Structure 1
Amino acid sequence: MEHGVIDRFEEDIAVIEFSGVTRDFARSELPSEARPGDAIVLDNGVIRIDKGGTAERRKEIDRLMDELFE
């Protein structure tokens, strides 16, 4: 099982970062609601969104933005 983050979409390709290394997947392999910045889990070739991980990432980004603009 691998954990990653959706970096971006390039037409029909999803670029996902795993521990600092990006890999390309067909966008059709991801759930339809997947968005850049979502945390994902790749398990036996199946990609699913890690909703808890995504919420944690967004909370940390908000905290850092607040800190930056204080």
Structure 2
Amino acid sequence: MEHGVIDRFEGELAVIEIAGTTCDFRRSDLPSEAKPGDAVVVENGIVRLDERGTQERKNDIDRLMDELFE
């Protein structure tokens, strides 16, 4: 099982960053609601959204932005 983040979509491809490396997946293999910035779990070639991971990333980014603009 690997954890990653959707970096971007390029046509029919989804570019996912996993452990500092980008990997391409067919966009159709991701859940339809997937968007750039979402955390994902990849296991046996199956990509699923990690809602908890996505929320944790959002919270971290919000905290960093608050610190930056204090």
TM-score range, shorter chain: over 0.9
5+ residue gaps, structure 2, are none
Identity within the alignment, %: 69
Q: Structure 1 residue runs of 4+, over 2 Å off? A: none
Quote the Cα distance in structure 1 between the aligned partners of 2:62 and 2:36. 16
5+ residue gaps, structure 1, are none
1:14 match: 14
Deviation at 1:28, TM superposition (A): 0.4
Cα RMSD over matched residues?
0.6
- TM-score when scaled to structure 2? 0.96
Query: What is the count of residue pairs matched by the alignment?
Result: 70
1:33 aligns with 2:33: yes
Quote the Cα distance in structure 2 between the aligned partners of 1:68 and 1:10. 31
Quote the Cα distance in structure 2 between the aligned partners of 1:11 and 1:65. 31
Quote the Cα distance in structure 2 between the aligned partners of 1:7 and 1:68. 23
